[in-house]
Amino acid sequence: MSNNRQLAADLGAALLSRGESVATAESCTGGLIAAAITDVPGSSAWFSHGVVSYGNQAKQQLLGVQASSLMNHGAVSELVVREMAAGAQALADADWAVAVSGIAGPDGGTPEKPVGLVWLAIAHPGGQTEAWSCRFAGDRQQVREHAAAEALSRLIERIRGHVRPA
């Protein structure tokens, strides 16, 4: 079993134990997170929506990302990935959502946004959204796999540490 599939299985166990669900919004990972999730038998009990919004138009139309966010900050930015996560959460009516947008390479990097830069976000139950960036080394596939693993790992940590309101 691949590492990402094992992480997805762990994610499913955490969500099932709480009766919660997750949605995904992916750009540079191109569906790798959703693929890992749907490799897990029974994942339909806790996963119903995954959006691959590779282009800016898809981010706007499917996830409600603001045109001004894309124009002023770019697709690979904290603001855009936060909007992607919130949009996926709302679209799926999910408890949790994870979003990823980055520059997998080998082209497309700039000094401000180098190849390997990935922004990730998690929308929590109750409206809180957190975002962080990572810079992954390796070729295009390695950057994408690392980003998917980071998203799944952090999501599991947040779910296990989240206290539900009484």
103-122: per-residue pLDDT in tens?
Answer: 999 999 999 999 999 999 99
1 has a pLDDT exceeding 60: no
- Per-residue exposure over 2-29, b if at least 16 CB sit within 10 Å of its own CB, e if not: eebbebbbbbbebbeebebbbbbbbbbb
Residues 6+ apart with CB under 8 A from 75: 27, 56, 59, 101
CA dihedral 80, 86, 89, 91 (to 10 degrees): -80
Average pLDDT of the segment spanning 140-154: 98
Q: In which band, very low, low, confident or very high, does the pLDDT at 166 lie, cut at 50, 70 and 90? A: low
Specify the pLDDT at position 162.
82
Q: In which band, very low, low, confident or very high, does the pLDDT at 163 lie, cut at 50, 70 and 90? A: confident
Q: If you compute the radius of gyration of the chain from its CA atoms, what whole number of angstroms results?
A: 15
Q: In which band, very low, low, confident or very high, does the pLDDT at 9 lie, cut at 50, 70 and 90? A: very high
Specify the pLDDT at position 2.
76
Residue 144 has which token pair?
């994408």
Mean pLDDT of the chain: 96
Residues 6+ apart with CB under 8 A from 70: 56, 59, 60, 80
Q: What share of the chain in percent tops pLDDT 90?
A: 95
Average pLDDT of the segment spanning 84-102: 98
Average pLDDT of the segment spanning 37-57: 97
Average pLDDT of the segment spanning 39-44: 98
DSSP 3-state of 127: coil
